[in-house]
Each structure stands twice: as C-alpha cells, then as structure tokens.
C-alpha cells in the first residue's frame, strides 16, 4: 500500500502523483544526484516562517545552494536583501510564473527544481503546469507540507520537525 499524504487539495485526474520522501537521506541523495543542474526557488512564505519561528531558514537554503552549486531564484525583496547581506551572489530575480514558463519551454537546462516558500495553491498550479508541459524536469518540494504535483515531496510535518530535517539535510549534504 502506497504512502498517502494529507492533501489540502486534490490533484487533477491522471496517474502522476508525488513520491513522498519520509527519509531525509533520500532527499539528500536526490539533491546530490542533480548537483550542478539544480535551481532553488524561494517564495515569500520563507520570510513568514523565519519571523514565526525565529530561525534563519534563508541561511539554511543558502548553505544547501552552496553545497549543490545551485542558484537561488526569487522575486521577494526581503529574500533578495538577505541574500545580498549574506554575500550570496548566485541568485537571480525572477517571478515564479516567468520561471515556470521558461522551464516549460526549455529555456533553462535545469534537471531539478527545488521549490519552497510559495503559497500552497500557487505552487500547486505551477508544479501542475510544469509536470504536464515539460515532464523531463524533476521537481522537489522542500515545504513543510506535502505537495502532490511535485515529482518528490516531503511529508506534511510540524514546522519544528521540518526545521530539524533541514538542518539534518545540510549535515548529510556536507558529507
């Protein structure tokens, strides 16, 4: 019996559903496999999580990006300011919709897109578009909730456990 996760919304008809990654080692394995051909998209909810839990979540994603040699893509001014203050030069300012349109048209050569920090329904729609218009690009949702339209997703977790998983992911990637 397959692991079914708690859905906030249903997915469109069809056989394509996200694979739920309950083992953080498997997440690290996927990220390492696509190292150098990965991009990380950070949305505005990252700032909300940082304020709510008083954690440096953007810093954690910068560490992941440095390990994977991946650019961070965002359109959020607060995230951009933080990336600049951390002297992280490998970031690009681009709206998520524009990024997904370019990905679906083959403008970028990324093999994996790691997504986090977008509103659930918006991310749901963007990932649904990408999986149907360019299924060759794998996606992984690193959000604290399951995302059914990604190729891989982490399960829905309380934020404290999700933050511990991010820290553990960084330690595994450093090895």
Tell me whether residue 158 is in a domain: yes
18-65 pLDDT, tens per residue? 889 999 999 999 999 999 999 999 999 999 999 998 999 999 999 999
Q: Which helix (H) or strand (E) holds 20?
A: strand 19-20
State phi, psi for 115 to the nearest 5 degrees.
-120, 135
Question: Residue 53's domain is classified under what CATH number?
Answer: 3.40.50.1220
**pLDDT computed for residue 46 by the predictor:** 94
Judge whether 26 lies within some domain.
yes
Kindly indicate the confidence band of residue 17, based on its pLDDT and cuts at 50, 70 and 90: confident
Q: Which domain holds residue 29?
A: 19-174
Question: Cα–Cα distance between 43 and 29 in angstroms, integer?
Answer: 24
User: Over the chain, what is the mean pLDDT?
Assistant: 90
Question: Has residue 79 been placed in a domain?
Answer: yes
Q: Is position 80 within any domain?
A: yes
Distance CA 42, CA 80 (A): 10
- Summarize pLDDT for 97-116 with one digit per residue, the tens: 999 999 999 999 999 999 99
**DSSP β-bridge partners for residue 114:** 40, 140
- SS3 per residue for 24-44: HHHHHHHHHHCCCCEEEEECC
- The predicted model gives 126-146 an average pLDDT of 92
Domain contains 7:
no
| In-domain check, residue 96 | yes
pLDDT per position as a tens digit, 65-80: 999 999 999 999 999 9
Does residue 99 belong to any structural domain of this protein? yes
Question: What is the rounded CA–CA span in Å between residue 49 and residue 55?
Answer: 8
pLDDT of residue 175: 86
| In a domain? residue 11 | no
């Amino acid at each position: 019996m397959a692991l079914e996760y708690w859905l906030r919304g249903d997915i469109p008809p069809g056989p394509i559903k996200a694979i739920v990654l309950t083992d953080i080692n498997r997440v690290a394995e996927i990220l390492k496999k696509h190292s150098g051909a990965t991009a990380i998209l950070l949305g505005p909810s990252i700032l909300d999580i940082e304020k709510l839990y008083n954690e440096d979540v953007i810093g954690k994603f910068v560490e992941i990006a440095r390990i994977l040699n991946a650019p961070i893509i965002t359109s959020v001014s607060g995230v951009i300011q933080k990336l600049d203050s951390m002297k992280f030069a490998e970031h690009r300012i681009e709206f998520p919709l524009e990024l997904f349109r370019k990905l679906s048209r083959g403008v970028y050569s990324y093999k994996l897109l790691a997504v986090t920090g977008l509103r659930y329904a918006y991310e749901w729609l963007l990932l649904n578009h990408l999986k149907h218009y360019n299924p060759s690009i794998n996606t992984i949702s690193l959000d604290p909730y399951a995302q059914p339209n990604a190729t891989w997703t982490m399960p829905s977790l309380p934020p404290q456990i999700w933050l511990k998983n991010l820290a553990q992911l960084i330690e595994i990637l450093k090895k």
